[in-house]
Amino acid sequence: MAFDPVKSVLAAGGKHGLSDSEKRDPIGLAVVALNKFAQSDLIDRLGLRKTSEQTVFRVTSAGFKTASAAGRAFARTGGKGGGKRVPAAANTGLFDLTPSEDEQMLVDVVTDFADEVVRPAASEADEACAAPDELLKASLEIGLPILGVSEELGGIATERSAVAGVLVHEALSRGDMGIAVASLAAGAVATALSLYGTDEQQSTYLPAFAGDEVPAAALVLAEPTALFDPLTPATKAVRQGSGYVLNGTKAAVVRGADAELFIIGAELDGKPQLFLVESTTDGITVVSDPSMGVRAAGLTRIELTDVAVEDVALLGDSATYREVVQNSRLAWCGLALGTAQAVLDYVTPYVKSREAFGEPIAHRQSVAFMVANIAIELQGMRLVTYKAASRVAQGKDASREIALARRLCAERGMQIGLDGVQLLGGHGYVKEHPVERWYRDLRAIGLMEGAVLV
Amino acid sequence: MINLETPKKIRPLVDQAHQVAMNMLRPISRKYDQAEHEYPKELDMLAAMIDGLADSGASEGAGAAGVRRDEKAVEKGNKNGANLASVLSVLEMCWGDVGLTLSMPRQGLGNSAIASVANDEQSERFKGTWAAMAITEPSFGSDSAAVSTTAVKDGDEYVINGEKIYVTAGERADSVVVWATLDKSLGRAAIKSFVVTKGTPGMRVERLEHKLGIRASDTAVIIFEDCRVPAANLLGSPEIDTKVGFAGAMATFDNTRPLVAAMAVGCARASLDLTRDVLAQAGIEIDYDKPALTQSAAAATFLQLEADWEAAYLLTLQSAWMADNREPNSMEASMAKAKAGRMGSDVTLRCVELAGTLGYSETDLLEKWGRDSKILDIFEGTQQIQQLIVARRILGLTSAELK
């Protein structure tokens, strides 16, 4: 469409949450001018404006741009053959809701970490749009990045660990969803490499994740478009020589400015594929993209402009791409469980101690039934998610179960977030209590793609 | 190890129940919906077959009496037993027809009650009986402590007086398990259940109800007038122990609620299965990988319904699995019934809407399932009663605090 100067002034749409159909009339134009003037006057008068400010990357405001992290050089090594794989989990043929001893131990460790380290840091991390460095370092000690990585490759998995993965996502998210995503993001990349990498890809990249200096890394599937379908990404890859060139914009990139390695979803020859992209590659611009919630994950977008990668970059095939999409959604369901449990754990003592009309509000059915429904729906979400995870672990097709878990966790999880705030009334709406954060976090379920993986 | 698949050893039973539901219940489903109060004679043969299965051990002890928790020490480790087998087979049968399943000889809720609270002598004596359950009275429903039917000890007998309504299979069953109070002034603890066999003088079926759904199942009003039953027919202990209180009688519900939840899950799956076909014929395929909101509204709706169904299904299995492993399951049974009850209505009614006049018409069964499902959110404890039980448990409140 040709540029129309009149329309560009009159059309209010496309920014500030206005739809394209909004038009400005003369009074509207005057108000716009006044507003602009008032803003600049105010800022200058208070001396808040610093000339350097525009150039510093701030993850707490939208639109700040920077180049991707300088990052380490991953020395290319290993052969062309297939990578090492963990076997599928055995099936006893019995219905069972008891985690294995190993899984339970893991959950206990992560739960302690969530209670003692994550929850106390949550509010500040939400504000800062970043998880504290010490916390991220501590999360390495409990083995989060290598949870899904095969033992042979330096990880701790002896079999497909989707159930353990979901349990860990749940336990960590009970502390805080944003911090959970920040601390699990590198593990998503490592897990994908372990599950789908060639010998060369595993040998080149995985040792860094099993070492002491674990790189920040991000599994990147989402794009900033309405009705986004990860199976048909707009980001395109084309062949060039023996390698590929990527162009497009991706969203929900965890700690994009820190990440040293990305796994990026792009369409190649009409099929969705994953590409390993090192942050030192030219053409990657990281744009801050703080969102409604999951803020501690330091969400960003990345713009890919003629990003050229070598042949080693192509990870798996379009069938494994689909698996990654599914198992990432499953990981988000695990996160939903933890945050919804946090809501239940918080509102239960609250409604028993808060009094109205001379008795605890918990004594009223309208309040008590809301709590009951949180418990009922949460347990339903949990069972559906566990079933999907156990199918993935056993190497069974879990498309249906994951889709159902995602629908349920999106719908019922959001309701739990809403009810959490509602039960606290005005207290729920202010930051003194964490329920407003959980409300914002739970909205992520059902729309997020990528970032985490089990 | 977490695994939520249908247990391997119960799968043959589930397959069998599915075949019976498909080939025996479905063909007569509409017939007995229209011929309300007519006895479905086809069921006698079916019941005989089910008895045979039970005797052969192939049923894993499933059925209404499969909920008995004997005193035998539980083997160590994870158990998949009669409770899981029962809910899974009831689910399949109700996929066939809820009303007919409720009319299945010797599979009444009274049988579950006997299995739950009878002593060994009684369960031997009442083996093979078809027992209906009589709790509700004209003056109360959910508040089952308000029983006003009385039982007065007279020698070796109790004399029962009162009126019971909504007795499922009340006319067809061989006996009725009736709740009566030994002394109304002593409250819940004085409520006991009695087995009254058909033909006992003083007990009569007053009339049968005309209902919204499950019309294949007869629902009786039963009057007790100086009805004398042997004292040995009192289930459980005759002592009025205020400490144990109501617990004995209420224990029945821990076993029957998962079964009713399974009925809702089965009925709803019938609706989903047919609706999936009907939508496919209209050009709508459900895609599990494409985001729901990028598909048609019908597909997105279907996904939501199926997701709620899956949650109800697994909550039901969980409550039965806990019973198999002798874990207290009152709260989980209520969770299952609450979720399954509301899911049942939501799914079956939404499926009628999705199918349009095709769903609303009596030419197929969607409209019938939309009517049948409603009772499952009412009997054996309404939605609200289940929420009350869950809320009290979660919040740690007594029935005096949270009324």
The ipTM assigned to this model is 0.94
Q: What is the pLDDT of residues B277-325, one digit of tens each?
A: 999 999 999 999 999 999 999 999 999 999 999 999 999 999 999 999 9
Q: Is residue A349 part of a domain?
A: yes
- Note the pLDDT of residue A338: 98
A95 within some domain? no
Q: Two tokens at A363?
A: 């004594």
| A445 phi and psi angles, rounded to 5 deg | -65, 135
Residue B367 pLDDT > 90: yes
Residue B166, SS3 per DSSP: strand
Separation between Cα atoms, residue B384 and residue B403, nearest integer Å: 11
DSSP A17-86: T--TT-B--HHHHHHHHHHHHHHHHHHHHTT---GGGGGS--TTSTT-EEEPP--------S-SSB---P
d(CA B240, CA B86): 32
Whether residue B174 is predicted with pLDDT greater than 60 in this model: the reply is yes
Mean of pLDDT values over B235-258: 78
Residues A390, B3: C-beta atoms closer than 8 Å: yes
Residue A401 lies in a domain: yes
Gap between the Cα atoms of B386 and B258, Å rounded = 12
For B235-251, give the DSSP string: ES--S--TTTTTHHHHH
**Domains: count for chain A:** 2
Residue A16 has pLDDT above 90, yes or no: no
What is the reported pLDDT for A45?
59
Neighbouring CB atoms inside 10 A of A66's CB total 18
pLDDT for residue B57 is more than 90 = no
| Statement: residue A51 has pLDDT above 50 | no
Instruction: Yes or no: say if B63 and B17 are a contact pair by the CB < 8 Å rule.
Output: no
In a domain, A239, yes or no: no
- Domain annotation covers residue A451: no
> Residue A115: its pLDDT value, please?
97
Q: What integer pLDDT is reported at residue A324 of this predicted model?
A: 98
Residues 6+ apart with CB under 8 A from A224: A249, A251, A289, A301
* Residue corresponding to tokens 């309040």: A367
Q: List CB contacts of B305: < 8 A, sequence separation 6 or more.
A: B272, B346, B347, B350, B351
Q: Within the 162-181 window of chain A, which residues sit less than 8 Å (CB to CB) from chain B?
A: 163
- In CATH, what number does B8-122 get? 1.10.540.10
Looking at residue B44, what is its pLDDT? 87
> What does the pLDDT average to over B23-46?
93
DSSP state, B212? Answer: S
CATH for B129-235, among 3.30.70.20, 3.90.950.20, 2.40.110.10, 3.40.630.30?
2.40.110.10
For position A53, what pLDDT does the model report?
44
Chain B contact for A228 (CB, 8 A cutoff): yes
Residue with tokens 């919906």: B33
Residue A392, domain CATH? 1.20.140.10
Position with higher pLDDT, B49 vs B185: B185
For chain A, report the end-to-end CA distance as a whole number of angstroms: 44
pLDDT in tens, A243-252: 999 999 999 9
Closest by CA position to A447, among listed A188, A230, A214 = A230
The residue ranking higher by pLDDT, B395 or A27, is B395
Ramachandran region, residue B183 (left: φ > 0; alpha: ψ -120 to 50; beta: rest): beta
Read off the pLDDT band of A56 (50, 70, 90): low
Q: Is the pTM of this model over 0.90?
A: yes
Residue found under tokens 């380490």: A72
Three-state secondary structure call for residue B274: helix
Q: Which single residue is written with the structure tokens 């054996």?
A: B380
Residue B50 has pLDDT above 90, yes or no: no
- What's residue A37's pLDDT? 64
DSSP B148: -
**Res. B185: pLDDT tops 80:** yes
Contact (Cβ atoms closer than 8 angstroms) between residue A179 and residue A129: no
Averaged over A221-231, what is the pLDDT? 97
Q: Is the pLDDT of residue A451 over 80?
A: yes
Of A100, A362, A400, Cβ closest to residue B1 = A100
* pLDDT score at B246: 65
Report the candidate in A276, A299, A263, A339 with the shortest Cα–Cα distance to residue A448: A299
* DSSP character at residue B137: B
Q: Which residues in chain B are contacts of A368 at CB distance < 8 A?
A: 387-388, 391-392, 395, 397, 402
Task: Compute the average pLDDT of residues A318-339.
Answer: 98
pLDDT at A1: 47
The letter for the amino acid at B2 is I
Cβ contact B294–A91 (<8 Å): no
A43 contacts: CB under 8 Å, gap ≥ 6: A49
Q: Could B2 and A379 be called an inter-chain contact, meaning their C-beta atoms sit closer than 8 Å?
A: no
The pLDDT assigned to B71 comes to 55
Tens digits of residue pLDDT in A169-196: 999 999 999 999 999 999 999 999 999 9
The pLDDT value recorded for residue A52 is 42
Lowest mean pLDDT among A320-334, A402-416, B176-190: B176-190
Same fold? B8-122, B247-395: no
Q: Is the pLDDT assigned to residue B139 strictly greater than 80?
A: yes
Range scoring the smallest mean pLDDT among A27-36, A318-327, B34-43, B141-150: A27-36
> Residues of chain B with pLDDT > 90: what percent?
77
Q: What is the mean pLDDT of chain B?
A: 92
Cα nearest neighbour of B301 on chain A:
A407
Q: How far is A221 from chain B (nearest CA, A)?
A: 13
Residue A197 has pLDDT above 80, yes or no: yes
Q: Domain map of chain B by residue range?
A: 8-122, 129-235, 247-395
Domain-located, residue A17: yes
Task: Name the CATH topology of B247-395.
Answer: Butyryl-CoA Dehydrogenase, subunit A; domain 3 (1.20.140)
- What is the reported pLDDT for A54? 44
pLDDT grade for A43, boundaries at 50, 70 and 90: low
d(CA A336, CA A448): 12
Asked if A404 is an interface residue toward chain B (Cβ–Cβ < 8 A), one would say yes
Q: At what angle do helices A162-175 and A318-353 cross, to 10 degrees?
A: 40
Q: What is the mean pLDDT of residues B246-253?
A: 71
In the prediction, which pLDDT does A263 show?
A: 98
Domain housing A351: 321-442
Confidence (pLDDT) at B244 = 64
> For A225-278, where are the E strands, in sequence order?
236-240, 243-254, 261-268, 271-278
Helical ranges in B282-329 per DSSP H: 297-324
* Residue B346, token pair as written in the block: 């939501």
pLDDT at A224 over 90: yes
**Is A232's Cβ below 8 Å from some Cβ in B?**
no
Summarize the confidence of residues B226-244 as an average pLDDT.
Answer: 88
